[in-house]
Structure 1
Amino acid sequence: MTTRNIEARLSPHSPVVLTVFRVVVGLLFLCHGLQKLIGWPVGPTVPVGDWPFYYAGWIEAVTGGLVALGLFTRVAALVASGEMAYAYFTQHFPHGFWPIVNQGELAVLYCFAFLLLAFIGGGVYALDARRRTGARWGGARAGAPWRRGRGRRLDDTRTTAADAGRGAPLRRWWRNRRLGRR
């Protein structure tokens, strides 16, 4: 199996995998915040106002929930990434340089997972995609089926004079691909 084969097989599944990644990371982070604030699912709570743990619990609960939902994903992920960087350098780094030595692996993993989400966004199955464009799930615009320029509906599969000629099959293939047809 070649690299091109693997890429062709895996790339159609990227939006779903990104969604699963975002939801899992967000829910795990939410659980860390809830554990600090209310002791759920297990563990002691942090006293109210205890710096920085009480405030870290609120940041983790709010940003974890937002990231899991895909709402304001980039901003929430950037705040969560910064919080994890702060946690690593204030709580773990004084005990040694390497994360495996100072038990800061989780902080580093969360920091870079959220940094990745801050740069790539929540994906097509996030609430951000619906909020921004009014789109249906999957990114297709719900309220604007018109293609720019020609004034034709995107789902119009008739061959027109513009499609006639040697490039017509390629143009139809490209139009159907954008519409999610195979």
Structure 2
Amino acid sequence: MIRHQRQNYDWGINAEGSSLEGGAAQVAMNGDTVFIHYICRDEDGNMVDDSAESEDHPVSFEVGAGEITGNPLFQAFDEAIRGLPLGSTTVLEARGGDWNRELFFEVPRDHAEIQRLEGRYKNQGGLQDGLIVELSNGGSAMVVAVTDDVVKIDANNMLAGKRRIFEVTLLNIEPAQR
């Protein structure tokens, strides 16, 4: 029998998990190192990412580390895995929040920041549509369009206005020394 649980997170992430009832399955606890596999899908169910295709597969982290990272998605993974039985799968839903028009810029090509970016990304083919750039303030943005006169840059979160579903499976647990 499978029991489903749903957890709601204040940062726009929900988790739904399943675990087997009965028996004393090993569960992930604070301090344990866990190894997970995840598949990320968009709101239409299309696969966006599969950790099995990564060089770092399976993904591993220490349970409880999410409390110090400050990254809401990692915190959600950490919270969802904590207490999850080995071999179980949990589903996380991440929403990127609203798209903010004030974070979309049309910048003249002769502006100092655009000149700096063109120099920095010259060896990567220069500024082009879809390029993720690091701004002088340390933030990141996507180049949306480049014309002879302006560069359009979107500094919104890459998930702004979007929803992602993560299916996370707990593959292995290395218990912490207690």
Assess same fold via TM > 0.5.
no
TM-score of Structure 1 vs Structure 2, range by shorter chain: under 0.3
User: Which protein is richer in helix relative to its size?
Assistant: 1
Who wins on radius of gyration, i.e. which is larger? 1
User: Which protein is richer in strand relative to its size?
Assistant: 2
TM-score by length of 2: 0.23
Higher RCO (CA < 8 A, seq sep 6+)? 2
TM-score by length of 1: 0.23
